[in-house]
Amino acid sequence: MENINEFFKNKYPSNLSAESELKIFRTAEMLYKRHGKSLLKKPEIAQEIGISQSSIDRLRRSGELKYKRIGGQIFFTLFEVSYFIEEVCDGI
């Protein structure tokens, strides 16, 4: 899995509490155990969050849900999804 310190240092506000960081890490850990990989595709994320794939596209285009493009395909890291679930959706 991606180094958690680098994830928080480079991508998200430094004002996250230790409790928030721990929630995000635990959610990422749960997602990893459930899927067995650190990059997830849109259908997997839609199912985890409980919204449509077109909603995932809207969130991605608006910048609310960060993603990575690899070989023309779109992927979401466990930590990006975990941050979205815990900080934007306030846990699900």
Reply yes or no on whether the pLDDT at 86 is more than 90. Answer: no
Distance CA(77)–CA(27), nearest Å, equals: 12
* pLDDT-based confidence at residue 15 (cuts at 50, 70, 90): confident
Average pLDDT over every residue of 84-91: 80
55-62, Cβ contacts within 8 angstroms, sequence gap of 24 or more: 59/84
- Size of the chain in residues: 92
Reply yes or no on whether the pLDDT at 3 is more than 60. Answer: no
pLDDT digits (tens, 9 = 90+) for 39-66: 999 999 999 989 999 999 999 999 989 9
Average pLDDT over every residue of 25-43: 93
Task: Tell me which residue of 35, 27, 33, 34 sits closest to 81, measured CA to CA.
Answer: 27
Structural domains of the chain sorted by starting position, each given as residue range(s) with its CATH number in brackets: 18-88 (1.10.1660)
Q: Report the number of secondary-structure helices (H) and strands (E) in the chain.
A: 5, 3
More confident residue, 88 or 32: 32
